[in-house]
Amino acid sequence: MNKTLEQILESSRTYTSEGRVADYIPELAKANREEIGIFVATAEGDYYAGDWDKPFTIQSIVKPIFLMLTAIDNGIDFVKAHVGVEATGKPFNAIDYAEPLLLKEHINPMVNIGAIAVCGLVKAASNEERFQRLLHFTKKITGNPQLEIDREVYESEKKTGNKNRALAYLLKNSGMIYGSVEELLDVYFAMCSVKVTCKDLANMGYLLANRGVDRSGERIIPREDTIFLNAVLTTSGMYDGSGEFATTVGIPAKSGVGGGIMADCPGRMGIGIYSPGLDKKGNSVAGVKMLERLSRELQLSIF
């Protein structure tokens, strides 16, 4: 299996030169486009190749984490009463908003505006507590108690994140955020800046693939929640490349502009991917290629 991963990684390495490293903040632009890693977590053991232990910021892969903890706190039905699950057919940070108020139907938790709303549903007495609970939960599901945030990325996101700020004020305007907008954005920016490795993402994927039970055998989230999450990841986890990804890869997955992809094959394995060169839709070019080949090789498509 390690050999398979090696082969897939090497044959996909050429794609690292395609795509562009995210550069909307200077810290992300520093990423080394030649890095490429993969990690597979199964009940039988771990397999890996390349730069699987290089840290990068989690970015949008934190979105399913918001959803998981919110669902634990409030139940899936509460969550579904607040955000929709239809694909928007729009880029991840688009706004199309002529109505006096935003409609739940337009707030997909896998795009920024929905993720900010969902983040605000995590139960906490303060936003500091909200952040601590989220960080603790992320450590738990990645099996990595050392996780920490990248201060420079966080500061930079906070300073330049005016589009997310705009989205948050739209939510506030529609009564979908309670309390301070700036404080909630702080939690959001901080959580997007958590540094992870392929291994961390693979463990997170394992939890979903293993129906909510982690590698130590502890149940973290209800079985039904993993079904909900896998459905949402499949229909909208890869931005507006989700349809194409479903046909060529067919694995529930979430990508981030840091170059990571978290994927899970129900009943089989969790996968963590890293390669920072992105396609136009914001997904890792070499990462998607590796998943496509792994899916074909091991017949992983759920379809």
Provide the binding-site residues for its own copies, judged by CB under 8 A.
80, 84-91, 94-98, 108, 162-163, 165-170, 172-173, 181, 226-228, 230-232, 234-236, 240-244, 246-247, 250, 252, 266, 301-303
Give 94: exposed, middle or buried? Use CB within 10 Å, 0-12, 13-18, 19+.
middle
Q: Look up 257 and say whether it is catalytic.
A: yes
Calpha distance 27→152 (Å, rounded): 7
Bridge partners (DSSP) of residue 209 are none
| Minimum separation from the CB atom of position 231 to its own copies (A) | 4
Rounded distance between C-alpha atoms, residue 267 and residue 43, angstroms: 9
Q: Which residues contact 194 (CB under 8 A, 6 or more apart)?
A: 57, 58, 62, 135, 138, 147, 148, 149, 150
Q: Could you give the maximum distance between any two Cα atoms of the chain, in Å?
A: 56
Q: Say if strands 195-196 and 56-57 run parallel, antiparallel, or are unpaired.
A: antiparallel
* Candidate list 60, 236, 275, 284, residue with the active-site label: 60
Residue 129 labelled as part of a binding site: no
Catalytic residue among 249, 257, 285, 288: 257
Neighbours of 85 (CB within 10 A): 17
Tell me: is residue 216 an annotated ligand-binding position: no
Interacting residues of 73 by C-beta distance below 8 A, sequence separation 6+: 121, 122, 123
d(CA 202, CA 38): 9
Cα–Cα distance measured from residue 243 to residue 248, given in angstroms and rounded to the nearest whole number: 9
**Closest to its own copies by CB, 76 or 124:** 76
User: Rounded to the nearest whole angstrom, what is the least distance from the CB of residue 240 to its own copies in the complex?
Assistant: 5
Q: Which of 15, 48, 239, 274 does the annotation list as catalytic? A: 239
- Minimum CB distance to its own copies smaller for 54 or for 80: 80
Cα 100 to Cα 103, 165, 265, 298: the distances in Å are 9, 18, 41, 49
d(CA 189, CA 186) in angstroms, rounded, equals 5
Q: How far is the CB of 271 from its own copies (least distance, A)?
A: 16
Least gap, CB of 3 to its own copies (angstroms): 25
Nearer residue to its own copies within complex by CB, 85 or 213: 85
- Catalytic annotation, pick one of 12, 47, 48, 63: 63
Q: Minimum distance from CB of 234 to its own copies (Å)? A: 7
Q: Is 236 annotated as a binding residue?
A: no
Q: Is 188 a catalytic residue?
A: yes
In the residue annotation, 63 being an active-site residue is answered as yes
Comparison of 219 and 280: residue with beta carbon closer to its own copies: 280
Q: Are 242 and 111 in contact (CB under 8 A)?
A: no
144 is in an annotated binding site: no
Q: State the nearest-atom distance from the C-beta of 302 to its own copies, in Å.
A: 5
Of 51 and 157, which has the nearer Cβ to its own copies?
A: 157
* Residue 59 or 108 having the CB closest to its own copies: 108
164 is in an annotated binding site: yes
Q: Exactly one of 47, 48, 154, 188 is catalytic; name it.
A: 188
Binding site annotation covers 32? no
Which residue, among 211, 201, 229, has the nearest Cα to 268 in the 3D structure? 211
232 marked among binding-site residues: no
Residue 274 is a catalytic residue: no
- Residues known to be catalytic: 60, 63, 188, 239, 257
Q: Indicate the annotated binding residues for substrate.
A: 60, 112, 157, 164, 188, 239, 257
